[in-house]
Amino acid sequence: MSETFQTVGVIGGGAWGTALAQVCARAGMGVTLWAREAEVAESIRQDQENRLFLPGVALDASIAATTELADLATRDLILAVAPAQHMRATLAEFAPAAPSGLPVVLCAKGVEQGTLKLMNEVLAETLPTARAAVLSGPSFAAEVARGLPTAVTLAAEDLELAQDIAAALATPAFRPYAAADMIGAEAGGAVKNVLAIATGVVEGRGLGSSAHAALITRGFAELTRLAVALGGRAETVAGLCGLGDLVLTCSSSQSRNNSVGLALGRGESLQTALAGKLSVAEGVASAPAVVALARSLDVETPICDAVDAILAGRLDVDAAITGLLARPLKTET
């Protein structure tokens, strides 16, 4: 049975959560955004702007902001936009107030360290009665918040649920495509962040456009292998939530992950590359988890392995590049 969502709660007051709150307001939904930082909630309430994470973007005046997760309990729909490594703790904090059967759209991209679980598995353990969906695709928060054209994947095991949520979020400039492959959508988003660090390194090292294109292509092969091994479908990651997101994130310094790789390629330390960044570069935290997950499934991911080794200080950039170029030649597929 088709559902109509009138109200939405957004968990996460960072740039992406704020941008999605703006999307929902434009779609005519009643929006309550939860931020952990009191100054973010106050800035939105007083000035219709998230001065900390999304400065310079005028927000819809209808967006309500709160620092109390319980205030979201009466919403028809939840968008969970906490960073991947904080998703479990945030959902567990919300759990006592969450009603049974609440639809929750996971909007973070990553693999949880330690457990090596995707966000839908984290949701199942923290809010076991929730109805899960995933939103992923090529999207920069500032562009989405300003109303520039964007297309994403909205996936759920229940395709009708995905279609209903997509219809609720859609605006003339924000176009969600429904899908039934939640695992594929999640895997694409998690792995592309790691690969974006690699393309940043290539650019920072001045290795040229040919190397950049080759790395995206071979990285996409890694992403696809892992998604399929997890139970996702290759055709899913060939769409917006995989290839589309990979191309965007690997091709612009607006990407937090790409900018970290760019700094590393220029010889900066990881500490320096991350200094002063308020928003999270998910690929830094996800890299060791993605590599460990791939190894547990016997999936070969040499580019992700190299990124993980650079971030952990086991290899310097030049040694990692030399290692990749020295790999045995093989058939492409």
Q: Which residues of 174-200 are buried (b: 16+ CB within 10 A; e: fewer)?
A: bbbbbbbbbbbbbbbbbbbbbbbbbbb
Q: Which two tokens stand for residue 129?
A: 């009665």
Tell me the residue type at 288: P
CA–CA gap between residue 12 and residue 212 (Å, rounded): 33
CA–CA gap between residue 307 and residue 316 (Å, rounded): 10
Distance of CA 30 to the CA centre of its chain: 24
Residues 6+ apart with CB under 8 A from 157: 132, 180, 182
Residues 6+ apart with CB under 8 A from 102: 77, 78, 127, 129, 130, 131
- Where in the sequence numbering do the catalytic residues fall? 192
Q: Is 258 helix (H, G, I), strand (E, B) or coil?
A: helix
- The helix or strand, by DSSP H or E, that contains position 106, with its residue range, turns out to be strand 103-106
Q: Which two tokens stand for residue 323?
A: 């290692």
